[in-house]
């Protein structure tokens, strides 16, 4: 058998010749280099995701402002329709418990991600005070729970009017906490947006004393919640999923405390059949996507831009219903929606212009500068490149 093998190899060598043998060796070498490069790429990507800075860079790379806000927009529309089904046709009138289910499902999914090593690494504990994480988790419970409670007890118009009040609250809070200011043009654009949404929803404005108290109590937590989500991601290298993993258990604890105060009794007596349970579970899964997409949008933009996105959603639903579904909200409401959309367009263009100007200021410009270089052998003129920062 050995003689036959040697003879076969000799016959193959004689048929291929020297060039053929070199070609085979070259292909084996290329395959080895490609495999080595692939292994290095995998190792580099793994190491990139094993640090909070690397995970943050990957989030910014694959989920920029446009992707994050588009993702959040479609999920928000989907959960509105699903929650209308759950609270309307299904008759599940327990808004705090529904919010609790949303966060419980989110925490379960995040635990699975962590088990599979899909969860990004959190920044070192010393970079973010534990009090900030605790505060964000508690405020999330009030912001989310009171929002669903407000939607239950108030008309859609009054609910939207309360959301309009979040915008100036965010601007004021960011100025007090971070001394952050916005330009006068942006103030005018935000004023146009708020006025347009107010006109668009004023036809459905109904007052309820308890609902009004809930709406007013919701405004400040909602504003602070968005500011904290945005600042922790942009300044402390947190990713959306890592921050959700840290804050969700705290949110669940406070939602459990809110349930006896704001939910009616009888949640265990609800008809938990297959159809109702599937509808509620769908709402909970969309709740996870809404929390994730909202965190991504806040990390990629700002708290004010996220509020404007929510108002944009309201106007698109109103105008889209008129165009596609033959609904008739009235000329006044349509005019307000169009006016608000125009204000949003101006606000977006101002943001894009500021972002572009900021990028140009940070790009180093290379200009050739003639400089004489002296050496031991003599002097010679050489041209070196000098890097300057256009500030």
Domain membership of residue 81 as a residue range: 69-354
Work out the pLDDT band at 29, boundaries 50, 70, 90: low
Decide if 384 is inside a domain.
Answer: no
Decide if 42 is inside a domain.
Answer: no
Q: Taking a C-beta distance cutoff of 8 angstroms, is the pair 149, 100 a contact? A: no
Decide if 277 is inside a domain.
Answer: yes
CA–chain centroid gap for 240, Å, is: 7
Decide if 46 is inside a domain.
Answer: no
CA–chain centroid gap for 107, Å, is: 17
pLDDT in tens, 224-282: 999 999 888 888 888 889 999 999 999 999 999 999 988 888 888 898 999 999 999 99
Decide if 263 is inside a domain.
Answer: yes
Q: Give the range among 170-179, 188-197, 231-240, 371-380 with minimum mean pLDDT.
A: 371-380
**C-alpha–C-alpha distance, residues 68 and 111, integer Å:** 23
Decide if 264 is inside a domain.
Answer: yes
Q: Give the range among 6-15, 66-75, 95-104, 257-266 with minimum mean pLDDT.
A: 6-15
Closest CA to 340 of 377, 382, 311, 310: 311
Is a pLDDT exceeding 50 seen at residue 164? yes
Is a pLDDT exceeding 50 seen at residue 366? no
Is a pLDDT exceeding 80 seen at residue 116? yes
Is a pLDDT exceeding 90 seen at residue 166? no
| Amino acid 18: pLDDT | 56
Decide if 316 is inside a domain.
Answer: yes
Give ∠ CA 380-385-391 in degrees, rounded to 5. 145
Residue predicted with more confidence, 63 or 156: 63
Give ∠ CA 222-228-230 in degrees, rounded to 5. 105
Decide if 374 is inside a domain.
Answer: no
| Amino acid 188: pLDDT | 86
Tokens of 325: 């579904």
**C-alpha–C-alpha distance, residues 60 and 149, integer Å:** 34
Structural domain total, the chain:
1
CA–chain centroid gap for 181, Å, is: 23
Classify each residue of 136-161 as buried b or exposed e, where b means 16 or more C-beta atoms within 10 Å of its C-beta: bbbbbbbbbbbbbbbbbbbbebbbbb
């Amino acid at each position: 058998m050995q003689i036959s093998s040697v003879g076969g190899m000799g016959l193959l060598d004689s048929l291929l010749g020297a060039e053929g043998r070199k070609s085979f060796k070259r292909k084996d070498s290329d395959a080895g280099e490609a495999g080595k490069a692939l292994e290095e790429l995998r190792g580099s990507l793994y190491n990139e995701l094993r640090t909070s800075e690397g995970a943050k860079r990957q989030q910014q790379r694959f989920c920029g402002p446009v992707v994050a806000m588009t993702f959040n927009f479609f999920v928000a529309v989907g959960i509105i329709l699903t929650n209308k089904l759950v609270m309307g046709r299904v008759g599940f009138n327990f808004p705090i418990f529904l919010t609790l289910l949303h966060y419980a499902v989110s925490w379960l999914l995040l635990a699975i991600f962590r088990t599979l090593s899909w969860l990004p690494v959190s920044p070192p504990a010393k970079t973010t005070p534990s009090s900030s994480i605790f505060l964000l988790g508690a405020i999330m419970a009030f912001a989310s729970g009171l929002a669903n409670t407000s939607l239950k007890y108030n008309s859609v118009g009054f609910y939207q009017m309360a959301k309009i009040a979040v915008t100036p609250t965010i601007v004021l809070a960011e100025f007090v906490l971070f001394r952050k200011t916005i330009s006068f043009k942006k103030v005018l654009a935000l004023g146009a947006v708020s006025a347009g949404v107010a006109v668009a929803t004023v036809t459905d404005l109904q007052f309820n004393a308890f609902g009004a108290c809930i709406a007013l109590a919701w405004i400040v937590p909602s504003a602070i919640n968005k500011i904290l989500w945005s600042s922790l991601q942009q300044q402390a290298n947190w990713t959306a999923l890592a921050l959700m993993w840290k804050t969700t258990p705290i949110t669940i604890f406070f939602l459990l405390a809110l349930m006896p105060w704001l939910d009616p009794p009888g949640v265990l007596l609800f008809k938990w059949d297959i159809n109702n349970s599937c509808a509620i579970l769908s709402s909970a899964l969309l709740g996870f996507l809404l929390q994730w997409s909202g965190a991504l949008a806040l990390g990629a933009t700002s708290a004010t831009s996220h509020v404007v996105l929510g108002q944009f959603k309201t106007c698109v639903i109103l105008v889209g219903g008129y165009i596609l579904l033959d609904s008739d909200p009235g000329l006044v409401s349509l005019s307000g929606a169009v006016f608000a959309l125009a204000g949003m367009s101006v606000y977006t263009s101002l943001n894009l212009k500021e972002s572009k100007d900021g990028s140009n200021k940070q790009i180093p410009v290379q200009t050739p500068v003639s400089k004489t270089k002296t050496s031991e052998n003599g002097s010679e003129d050489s041209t070196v490149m000098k890097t300057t920062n256009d500030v």
